[in-house]
């Protein structure tokens, strides 16, 4: 047997070198890491169990140049939890996908679904390999895998774009629950060279699919980073908020933050004047455990915040207005962002907290051309079908239809409360007065005096006390007690079934 074992070890050693030491050295010279080095950064030490290590291309003559056929797959532990890992190998045919490559990743995905293991994609690669995909026979069994198309959020799937990624890595990323992209990389359907050949368009990688394109215009990534280490740390942090599979609740985390802590600092953060901007993130830092959270899509639809955090050790998703941008008014991008986030949280049993300071939607002729009515209603439909616990707090204003989108009364919240500073109405006082009394004010002897009288009356009508008196909202709370209120009501809302949802949104598309 000794000879057999020695031969096996020799084959393993060759596979460890992937595309060869020369290509590894070339990667290092560019400041990049190999697929194996990336896996080592991600997983708990000594926990990686590789499958398909001895794979090679099935194209005759390429066996000696194609260790792993361009991808490394296996299982490992990340912070003690088992996961499935797939890492594109740039040293083997630029990480392109051959027949064996595809067969291996399909098997890895299927196993993750079968055993309830999160999937982590460390992506870099050039799409389908020409020799393997050419011809009617070559392409016929290499279309989109059903495991990816019918994933239905059975397990969390996360992706890091760590090098230029076209084709397969892009499909995986936009199908994932969380995507981070390394600055200086490109994510697109096809690379600039193929684009020029196919269409004549000349464009560089940054213009085609760099981080600025995706973080601001497409919303197809959730975070960016300047180093591979930072990208991988973001993947790990995201996974820490989620369960491993659909049957689990998110893990509870021990916190040293006091549940009954008052947050009187919020009084100095939120201005009394309703037309003054402030940073809602500072309010959230006061409310959540140890001020820590992970923001998703920070530059896409910036007038709305979507964050993962914890209160009393329990994972929560927070949807909050951001008055620093457009006074907190939501447009098409904010609607898409909210819908995407509600689907994520409801699919993985993460309770939702809504923090209102929204003057309505950014309506205009351009917004109508971009289907703002459809986007608003998609957000509402996702909200209506979500079944996780939901708690809604009106901080300063919640106006018109947006009051509903932010989970106001009748929209399925466990509790809806307001700060005493809240303004709730069909429209803002200034706009309402102009529409209803515009002609009378023009003809009045003292328009300024009459306007002030009307504003005073409308401000009273907009206060939360009228709705609270008729039990149309649950209460008006002391702003300093907001964290205490959230912690107590989350415990109540999760008492019977934990935070488990019915997962009605699990098969919604991963893009909108």
- Residue 48: predicted pLDDT: 98
My answer on whether 354 and 457 are in the same domain is: no
Is the domain of 344 the same as that of 445? no
* In the predicted structure, residue 354 carries a pLDDT above the cut 70: yes
- Of 340, 336, 304, nearest to 320 (Cα)? 304
The size of the chain, in residues, is: 512
Q: Give the pLDDT score at 78.
A: 98
Domain assignment present for residue 509? The answer is no
Q: What is the pLDDT of residue 447?
A: 78
Percentage of the chain beyond pLDDT 90 is 78
Say if residue 306 is in the same domain as residue 401: yes
What does the pLDDT look like over 241-291, one tens digit per residue?
Answer: 999 999 999 999 999 999 999 999 999 999 988 789 999 999 999 999 999
pLDDT at 194: 84
Beta strand pairing status for 304-311 and 293-296?
antiparallel
Indicate whether 500 belongs to any domain: no
Q: Decide if 256 is inside a domain.
A: no
Instruction: Return the DSSP state at 251.
Output: P
| 297 shares a domain with 337 | yes
| Residue 61 pLDDT exceeds 90 | no
Same domain, 88 and 113: yes
Query: 337 vs 184, 295, 307, CA distance in Å?
Result: 24, 12, 11
Write the CATH number for 401. 3.90.226.10
CA distance 303 to 27: 40
Quick one: pLDDT at residue 148? 82
Mean pLDDT, range 203-228, rounded to an integer: 96
**Domain region containing 14:** 2-241
Q: What is the mean pLDDT of the chain?
A: 92
Query: Domain check: are 231 and 301 in the same one?
Result: no
pTM for the model stands at 0.92
Is the residue at 253 inside a domain?
A: no
Q: Indicate if 306 and 360 belong to the same structural domain.
A: yes
CA dist 245 and 250 (Å) reads 9
Q: Distances in Å between the alpha carbon of 107 and those of 111, 112, 166?
A: 6, 9, 21
Residue where a domain stops, chosen among 225, 241, 257: 241
Q: Are 341 and 317 in contact (CB under 8 A)?
A: yes
For residue 49, what are its two tokens? Answer: 């169990």
Q: How confident is the model at residue 462 (pLDDT cuts 50, 70, 90)?
A: confident
Three-state DSSP string of 19-67: CCHHHHHHHHHCCCCCHHHHHHHHCCCCCCEEECCCCCCCCCCCHHHCH
Cβ atoms of 104 and 73 closer than 8 Å: yes
- Which residues partner with 122 through β-bridges? 87, 160
495 burial level (CB within 10 Å; 0-12, 13-18, 19+): exposed
Same domain, 400 and 270: yes
Q: Is residue 21 part of a domain?
A: yes
Among 317-331, 418-432, 449-463, name the one with the lowest average pLDDT.
449-463
Once rounded to an integer, what is the mean pLDDT over residues 486-500? Answer: 95
Same domain, 236 and 383: no
Q: 13: which residues sit within 8 A by CB, 6+ positions away? A: none
Domain total in the chain = 3
């Amino acid at each position: 047997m000794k000879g057999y074992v020695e031969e096996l070890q020799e084959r393993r050693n060759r596979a460890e070198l992937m595309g060869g030491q020369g290509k590894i050295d070339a990667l290092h010279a560019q400041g990049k890491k190999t697929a194996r080095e990336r896996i080592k950064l991600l997983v708990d030490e000594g926990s990686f169990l590789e499958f398909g290590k001895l794979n090679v291309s099935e194209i005759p003559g390429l066996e000696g140049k194609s260790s792993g056929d361009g991808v490394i797959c296996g299982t490992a532990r990340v912070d003690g939890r088992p996961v499935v890992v797939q890492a594109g190998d740039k040293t083997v045919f630029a990480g392109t996908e051959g027949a064996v490559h595809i067969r291996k990743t399909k098997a890895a995905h299927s196993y993750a679904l079968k055993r309830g293991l999160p999937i982590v994609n460390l992506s870099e690669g050039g799409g389908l390999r020409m020799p393997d995909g050419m011809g009617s026979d070559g392409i016929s069994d290499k279309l989109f895998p059903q495991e990816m198309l019918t994933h239905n959020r059975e397990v969390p799937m996360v992706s890091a774009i760590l090098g230029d990624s076209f084709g397969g890595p892009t499909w995986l990323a936009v199908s994932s629950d969380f995507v981070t992209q390394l600055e200086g990389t490109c994510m697109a359907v096809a690379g600039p060279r193929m684009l020029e050949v196919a269409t004549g368009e000349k464009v560089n990688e940054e213009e085609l699919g760099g981080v600025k394109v995706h973080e601001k215009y497409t919303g197809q990534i959730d975070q960016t980073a300047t180093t591979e280490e930072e990208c991988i740390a973001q993947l790990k942090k995201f996974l820490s908020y989620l369960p491993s599979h659909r049957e689990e609740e998110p893990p509870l985390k021990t916190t040293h933050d006091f549940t009954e802590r008052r947050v009187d600092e919020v009084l100095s953060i939120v201005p009394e004047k309703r037309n003054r901007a402030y940073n809602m993130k500072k309010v959230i830092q006061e409310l959540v455990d140890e001020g820590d959270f992970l923001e998703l899509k920070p530059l896409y639809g910036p007038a709305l915040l979507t964050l993962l955090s914890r209160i009393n050790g329990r994972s929560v998703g927070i949807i909050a207005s951001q008055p620093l941008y457009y006074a907190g008014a939501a447009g098409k991008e904010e609607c898409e962002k909210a819908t995407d986030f509600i689907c994520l949280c409801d699919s993985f049993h993460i309770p939702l907290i809504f923090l209102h300071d929204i003057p309505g939607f950014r309506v205009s002729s351009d917004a109508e051309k971009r289907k703002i009515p459809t986007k608003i209603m998609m957000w509402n439909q996702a909200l209506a079908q979500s079944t996780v616990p939901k708690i809604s707090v009106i901080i300063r204003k919640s106006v018109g239809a947006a009051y509903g989108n932010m989970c106001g009364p009748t929209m399925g919240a466990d509790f809806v409360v307001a700060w005493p500073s809240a303004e709730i109405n069909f429209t803002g006082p200034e706009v309402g007065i102009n529409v209803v009394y515009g002609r009378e004010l023009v003809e009045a002897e003292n328009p300024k005096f009459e306007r002030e009288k009307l504003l005073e009356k409308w401000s009273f009508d907009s206060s939360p006390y009228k709705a609270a008196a008729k039990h149309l909202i649950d209460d008006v709370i002391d702003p300093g007690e907001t964290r205490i209120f959230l912690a107590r009501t989350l415990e109540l809302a999760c008492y019977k079934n934990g935070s488990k949802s019915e997962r009605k949104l699990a098969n919604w598309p991963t893009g909108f």
